[in-house]
Each structure stands twice: as structure tokens, then as C-alpha cells.
Chains A and B, each alone.
Chain A
């Protein structure tokens, strides 16, 4: 990254970086409900959004927050909410609506320990499977997971871009550590930030078909109140946006909305590989656990262990092909995560191995030492 006079350097938390990046992304509507450890996102935006002419509203609950951002997005405004575990559970109903009606929205989940009220002030990564399968039915979703304050900034921007590009809800998975840690953030140059806006229809209102099956599988959108009068429903619908009972049309809809993600997965999937070329051991880690994992692999390398790191930033769609490709060379996969093995399960499925789990569910982060110990165990 270039550093110039124009760049501002600030110390801020992941939650603050998320709020700032959302403004930069063009987000102008936030609806939310207070919940630890995400509340700073709402607090910052309640100050920042009026400054840029946007709307901040604190709703009566998380269900309403999710509904409000979908309503605002359908009016053409980039929209977001932020929550934690219990609120994320309440949002699932309307996350399904956004998947079904293909409404771009960003949902931030600053993870805490669960289930239930769990550990409100302590970190966890226990919502990664909920981010994929929390709402009912086969549905498309994208979930991204940064591990530092700067990455939170970048991935907030990317979350909006993915959401707008694919007309899909995007879940930004932070955790209490990433959300609350204070780190140096060098603001990127405005010109270095790529902002994507949804494709809007170029057809006149009388020709517009809201869910027309196009070559891209992503129907161009129109904004409510812009002269295009159309219908949006959470029922299974045909190209016109009206409910249908036709098995053919229902099948076409479900397959297309899910195909969107499969088809573009190579453009969506993002991960970092570190020291994997000659590695016999691969640590798969994400979010704040990846920070400990990185330290651990370097310490292990220092004593001659051939170990590397695979860090997915996009968790859903999962980098299955990429992990499978390295499975031949890797003798042991180690998956440290602050849950009881939610991503280890995916690693097992795609690599056809039994990964070694390093788990913590006591509200403490996984230390580099704990990961290093397991690396050494298997390298003997």
C-alpha cells in the first residue's frame, strides 16, 4: 500500500473501521438494535450518517432492523445492519427474504459466544455455520471474515460490492476481538477504493421485468419510486415478480438464485496462502484465530517444521476446490477456531481427511502457543 501525505492514519477499533468503510462504500441507510459487542457500529453511524445526509434509525428489534434495510435497499439505497449472535438469530427470517427477493444488503455479525445470550462481552466464532444455513430453505449467501482492523475496513467495502454485484445478502463476520481491538488504520486513497453499484435496468418501465432471466443470471434492478411499478414477494415467484405455482418456474427460480453464487464462485472466493509450497502441515484459520495461527506457523518454521497457513477471507462460498487441491501434499490439516469445529467439518468434507481441531469455547482467544503445540505434536 502506498503511503502519501493525503493518507490519514488513525487508531481505531474494527467496529469503528467497519462504520467508516460503510460510509465510504456509499451506505446511506442503517437500521439496527443495540447489542454487545456490535453497538459501536450503530453509535458511530448515528453520528456519521446525518453528516452525509443518510438515514440512521434504531428499530424496535433485530427483525425490524433487517426488514427496514431491505425496504430501503429496494428504494435504491445501500443499506446495512449490525448485530451479534442473538440478534443474528432474529434476523434470519428476513435474511431469507433478501436471498429470495435478491435484495442487496450487508449484515454485520460481531460474534460472541453462544448459544442463547451466551458470552456477550467475549469473542467467539460460533456463528459461521449459522451465517451459511441460518435461514430456512436452500438459499444463496456470501459470508466474509476479516481478522484485523484494516482488513475489516477493506472487507466492509467488499461486502457491499459483492452484495450489489450478485444481489445477495452478505454477512460480514467479525468477532469481539476484531470488533474491539485498537489498531493503526491507514486510510486507503479514495482512488484506490473500488466501489461497485448494482446494475440497474436500462429498459423503460413498461418493458421492465424485475426477475428476467438474463445471460448473467443477475437481473438488473429498478428502484421503488423511480417510475417502475413492480411487485416483490418472498413467495416463490416467476420472472415478473408475482407468485407462481408452476413447478417449472419455481424450479428455475431456486436453481438460478443458488446458481448465481456457484457460477461466480471463482470471482467471490478469496483466501491467502502462506508458506504452503513445501508444507506437509496446513493450518486453516480465519478471523482473529488466523492471527494466532500466523504467529504459530512462523515459530514452527523457525524450528524447521514444514507448515503453512490457508486463511479464507470468504467463508461462504467455501474454498473447497482450493483446499482439495492441496490435500494431496498435506499430511495434516489443523483447524483452530473459537467453536467446536464448524469449519473443521468443512475441511474434513473437502479434503477427505480428519483435521485436527484446536477449539476454544470459553471466551478466550486461541493462543499461538496452543496452535504451535499441535503443529509440533503432528510433526514428530
Chain B
């Protein structure tokens, strides 16, 4: 049994998440990854915005910063540059990161500033009661899309790759044992790393769309996910409707924090 207690603020429980929510699965995977990457608790900063995912930092014993809706990456940028030795992890949701925080998200990826962004993608605004989000699939219902969403959804991982992230991976709450390995890789990667985790919200996304209970939603992830290696071999038609999981993108690019302090050294020598 993994010693989760070492990392938990036990007096902050019970947590606020609904029955069947996937947030706890991601929280635990993150703790296993941090432990495996052997990063001291004092050297980890967890920064979040507003939403269900963003309540994560309150439960775990690191340097924790709970900011405004969408702004976690902006706060994290200042924190990282002011104290580069910190391993900065941003936990965010699909609405937090790609709607209100979309600008900060793409620019942090472009800069390739060393931080790991963990996006809990449940396709819905859970905290506020199930409104449509930028990742709600076309046609799905939400409290502000009672006739089904008429908008196409964002591909969060694709967005991060296009914007310049060094490392991008996708997984689901069903694939918990894959998830911690991916997060560990992301933590050890130099540069901006993103993990998109599909996360069941049976209360506000599952119920209006008749997707069953939490177990049904997890089983959906199991049955419809394909590893990236397989996805690359099959045709587009065969890939349709499937969730591609694994390391989607892993490249070497100059990291902003390191580049900035190289610049400082250069300037100070003149």
C-alpha cells in the first residue's frame, strides 16, 4: 500500500468531491508520481485556479496556492521564475485551463516554462452545477446546453502541442497505473509538460447525458481508449470516437527559466 498519508493534510478531509468523481484518482496518481520522482515536499508547489480540480491543493501537504479562476498558470509563472528550484505543478480543469485561462495556457506552453500542468477533463463545469465547457463534445447536454451543445470541443492535448509544449500525454481515470507513470515522466521533463486526464463527472456530465454511473463511465474509458502506438498504425476512420492515450508528444526545446537566467549571466558579464 502506498503511504498516501505522508502527503495528505488529513485534517482537511472529508473532501468536497461528489460520489464517483475522478478527482481523487488523479490526486493519488500525482502523489505516487511525486514520490517516485523523489522530490522533497518542500520543493513542490501546487497551484490551482477555481473548480473541482482546483480544490486538490488544499488536501495535500506541499507549498499550495489556490488562485483565481483560470489564473493558476499566471501565478505559477511568477512563482517559478522567482524561485526556480521549485517543482511547480498546476492542477486545473477543462473550463479553468482552456476557457477563462486559455490565454495563459497557450502562452506558458509557447514559453516552454518548466511546469507540469495536470488538466482534469470532465467535459463540464462541475463546481457551478454542470454548465457546458469548451470540451463538452458536440451534441452533449449541459445545464446551459439543454438541447445539446452546438459547438465543437477543444482537443486540449492538441492545443498544447500546437502551442509549443515539450511533453504532452493523455490518460484517463480508468488507467490509474499508467497515469502515475505519465505524471512522473512529465515531472522529470525539462520544459512545459501537460497531462490531460479524462475524468468522470457522473453527477453533472454523466446524468444529463445518460452515461450511467461512475463505474460505467470508467468502463467507457477502458473500452474506448487506444494506446498512441496503436492509433498511429490505424486509419482515421478506425480512430474515430476513440480516446488516444499515452505520451503523445515528447521533444527537446529550450526551457524558458533556464534561458532567462542564461541571459542574466550574459548581461552581467558585459
Q: How far is A225 from B61 in the complex, measured between Cα atoms in Å?
A: 13
CB neighbours of B47 from chain A (8 A): 71
CB neighbours of A76 from chain B (8 A): 82-83
Contact residues on B (Cβ < 8 Å of other chain), bracket: 35 or more
Q: A29: which of B43, B63, B78, B103 is its contact (CB, 8 Å)?
A: B78
Cross-chain pair count, CB within 8 angstroms:
135
CB neighbours of A26 from chain B (8 A): none
Question: Is A10 close to B, CB under 8 A?
Answer: no
Q: How far is A285 from B74 in the complex, measured between Cα atoms in Å?
A: 37
Question: Is A79 close to B, CB under 8 A?
Answer: yes
A94:B83 contact, CB within 8 angstroms: no
CB neighbours of B57 from chain A (8 A): 231
Question: Is B228 close to A, CB under 8 A?
Answer: no
Question: Is B212 close to A, CB under 8 A?
Answer: no
CB neighbours of B81 from chain A (8 A): 29, 55, 57, 68, 72
Question: Is B45 close to A, CB under 8 A?
Answer: yes
Q: How far is A147 from B68 in the complex, measured between Cα atoms in Å?
A: 34
Q: How far is A226 from B75 in the complex, measured between Cα atoms in Å?
A: 18
Contact with B along A34-63 (1 / 0, CB 8 A): 000000000000000011010101011101
B64:A225 contact, CB within 8 angstroms: no
CB neighbours of A63 from chain B (8 A): 71, 74, 104
Q: A74: which of B61, B65, B77 is its contact (CB, 8 Å)?
A: B65
Contact with A along B56-99 (1 / 0, CB 8 A): 01100111111110010111111111110110000000000000
Q: How far is A228 from B71 in the complex, measured between Cα atoms in Å?
A: 23
Q: How far is A66 from B65 in the complex, measured between Cα atoms in Å?
A: 15
CB neighbours of A55 from chain B (8 A): 81-82, 260
B86:A229 contact, CB within 8 angstroms: no
Question: Is A286 close to B, CB under 8 A?
Answer: no
Q: How far is A43 from B234 in the complex, measured between Cα atoms in Å?
A: 52
Q: Looking across the interface, which residue of chain A has its beta carbon closest to that of B61?
A: A229
B57 to chain A, nearest CB (A): 7
A66-121 with Cβ < 8 A to chain B: 66-77, 79, 93-94, 97
Q: How far is A188 from B83 in the complex, measured between Cα atoms in Å?
A: 31
CB neighbours of B42 from chain A (8 A): 225-227, 229
CB neighbours of B74 from chain A (8 A): 59, 63-68, 71
Contact with A along B240-270 (1 / 0, CB 8 A): 0000000000000000000010011001100
CB neighbours of B65 from chain A (8 A): 71, 74, 224, 231-233
Question: Is B107 close to A, CB under 8 A?
Answer: yes
Question: Is A133 close to B, CB under 8 A?
Answer: no
Question: Is A131 close to B, CB under 8 A?
Answer: no
CB neighbours of A51 from chain B (8 A): 267-268
Decide if the interface of chain A is mainly helix, strand, loop or mixed.
Answer: mixed
B68:A67 contact, CB within 8 angstroms: yes
Q: A75-B82, A75-B83, A231-B58 are in contact. Are A59 and B67 (CB under 8 A)?
A: no
Question: Is B12 close to A, CB under 8 A?
Answer: yes
B56 to chain A, nearest CB (A): 11
A72:B78 contact, CB within 8 angstroms: yes
CB neighbours of B28 from chain A (8 A): none
Residues of A within 8 A of B (CB): 28-29, 31, 50-51, 53, 55, 57, 59-61, 63-77, 79, 93-94, 97, 223-235, 242-243
A and B contact pairs by CB, cutoff 8 A, 11 listed: A29-B78, A50-B263, A64-B77, A65-B74, A67-B104, A75-B82, A224-B86, A225-B86, A228-B63, A230-B63, A243-B58
Residues of B within 8 A of A (CB): 12, 41-43, 45, 47, 57-58, 61-68, 71, 73-83, 85-86, 103-104, 107, 260, 263-264, 267-268
List 17 additional A-B contacts (Cβ < 8 Å) besides A50-B267, A229-B61, A231-B66. A63-B71, A64-B74, A64-B77, A67-B71, A67-B74, A70-B75, A71-B47, A71-B74, A74-B79, A75-B82, A79-B78, A224-B45, A225-B45, A229-B62, A233-B58, A242-B58, A243-B58
